[in-house]
């Protein structure tokens, strides 16, 4: 194994077309107590990585390596780590550490931990050949998914699943999905498998075609009105102006869940039009490990279809630019030279 590796780090955050990711040379990391070192096989490209690269999400430290949808093979375990063996395939996701002692952790709400650490934001992530993580926060992955397919499940899938739960869609209910990228196309399949009627609202004509192919009842423009009132809606697009049409589309008592870590400014709400009759808007913050376990089990059970576009690791900037400009259908995934 070489002593150093090439990785992609956030240099000076800025417009993605100016290539804010820079190639850096780093020592291959060694696992500390309770950690494992993982040889990266694939790493999904998440919109959070784009927010980090462009500065919407401020980097926690200079030249952090992004990437938190990591699939790889365990190479070495640190002291006290025994959950996985060398050669095991694991997944590494956004939530990388929680304190375990605050009132949120003690209540099973570790996604709201007061002292968390996040992969690819606080700690170096998967836009690299090797990564270390706390083994308690790694996931076993269903064998039915290839490395390429499994990577988007680890954030796009898990966060979409939590957003679906936060939207409180009633059994057999009518769900609106605003934006239809990596996360949305997975959450839609879970909702459909549970008997929901799904209406997709997105600016991408290619994404509309995918939505209909996956079983959506309708697919229209991002600010269009769905063909029927909605019991629940999820906003995946980071566009605050879509909050208003999404709320207007809700039936009485409906809930809008906003799934992104960043959202542009929301225009002024009109109480009577947007919130009256007990309409609710709520955010989604990270996920618990229980969310991840539940979603991965569900994904395997329903044989969820994962649409991916692979990119070599060397083309990380291009992958993020394609994501920014809606040139990716499904999920972009960086793959190791011998991966996926």
> What pLDDT was estimated at residue 149?
97
- The DSSP 8-state label assigned to residue 274 in this structure reads I
Q: Are 241 and 264 in contact (CB under 8 A)?
A: yes
271 in helix, strand or coil? helix
| pLDDT cut 70: percent of the chain above it | 99
In angstroms, the CA 114 to CA 102 distance is 7
Average pLDDT taken over every residue of the chain: 96
> What pLDDT was estimated at residue 276?
96
Q: At what angle do helices 158-166 and 182-193 cross, to 10 degrees?
A: 60
At residue 116, φ and ψ (nearest 5 deg) are -85, 170
Nearest to residue 247, comparing CAs of 233, 262, 265, 261?
A: 233
Q: Angle at the Cα of 284 (from 228 to 240), degrees rounded to 5?
A: 60
pLDDT tens for 275-302 read: 999 999 999 999 999 999 999 999 999 9
Residue 339 in this model has a pLDDT that exceeds 50: no
153 in helix, strand or coil? helix
In angstroms, the CA 14 to CA 83 distance is 40
196 in helix, strand or coil? coil
In angstroms, the CA 100 to CA 27 distance is 30
List domains and CATH numbers for the chain.
Answer: 4-140+307-335 (3.90.180.10), 158-283 (3.40.50.720)
44 in helix, strand or coil? strand
Q: Are 80 and 33 in contact (CB under 8 A)?
A: yes
> What pLDDT was estimated at residue 340?
47
Q: How confident is the model at residue 338 (pLDDT cuts 50, 70, 90)?
A: low
If residue 62 lies in a helix (H) or strand (E), which one and from where to where?
none
Q: How confident is the model at residue 329 (pLDDT cuts 50, 70, 90)?
A: confident
205 in helix, strand or coil? helix
Residue 192 in this model has a pLDDT that exceeds 90: yes
pLDDT tens for 232-268 read: 999 999 999 999 999 999 999 999 999 989 999 999 9
> Looking at the chain, how many residues does it have?
340
Nearest to residue 43, comparing CAs of 122, 129, 116, 123?
A: 129
pLDDT tens for 304-321 read: 999 999 999 999 999 999
pLDDT tens for 12-63 read: 999 999 999 999 999 999 999 999 999 999 999 999 999 999 999 999 999 9
If residue 7 lies in a helix (H) or strand (E), which one and from where to where?
strand 4-10
């Amino acid at each position: 194994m070489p002593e150093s590796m090439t990785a992609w780090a956030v240099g000076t955050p800025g417009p993605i077309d100016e290539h804010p990711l820079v190639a850096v040379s780093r020592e291959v990391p060694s696992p500390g107590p309770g950690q494992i070192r993982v040889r990266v096989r694939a790493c999904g490209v998440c919109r959070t990585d784009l927010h980090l690269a462009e500065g919407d999400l401020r980097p926690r430290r200079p030249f952090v390596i992004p990437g938190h949808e990591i699939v790889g093979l365990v190479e070495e375990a640190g002291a006290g780590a025994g959950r996985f063996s060398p050669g095991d395939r694991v997944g590494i996701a956004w939530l990388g550490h929680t304190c375990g002692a605050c009132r949120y952790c003690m209540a099973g709400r570790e996604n709201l931990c007061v002292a968390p650490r996040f992969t690819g934001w606080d700690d170096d992530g998967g836009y690299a050949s090797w990564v270390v993580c706390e083994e308690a926060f790694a996931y076993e992955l269903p064998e039915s998914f290839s490395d390429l397919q499994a990577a988007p499940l680890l954030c796009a899938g898990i966060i979409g699943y939590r957003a679906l739960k936060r939207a409180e869609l009633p059994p057999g209910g009518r769900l609106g999905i605003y934006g239809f990228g990596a996360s949305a196309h997975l959450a839609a399949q879970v909702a459909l498998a549970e008997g929901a009627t799904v209406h997709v609202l997105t600016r991408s004509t290619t994404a509309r075609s995918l939505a209909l192919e996956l079983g959506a009842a309708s697919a229209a423009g991002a600010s269009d009105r769905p063909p029927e009132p909605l019991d629940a809606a999820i906003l995946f697009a980071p566009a605050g102006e879509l909050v208003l049409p999404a709320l207007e589309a809700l039936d009485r008592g409906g809930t809008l869940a906003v799934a992104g870590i960043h959202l542009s400014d929301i225009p002024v709400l009109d109480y009577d039009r947007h919130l009256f009759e007990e309409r609710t808007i709520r955010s989604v913050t990270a996920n618990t490990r229980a969310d991840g376990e539940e979603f991965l089990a569900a994904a395997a059970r329903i044989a969820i279809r994962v649409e991916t576009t692979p990119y070599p690791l060397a083309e990380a900037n291009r992958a993020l630019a394609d994501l920014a400009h809606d040139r990716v259908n499904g999920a972009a995934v960086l793959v190791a030279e011998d991966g996926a």
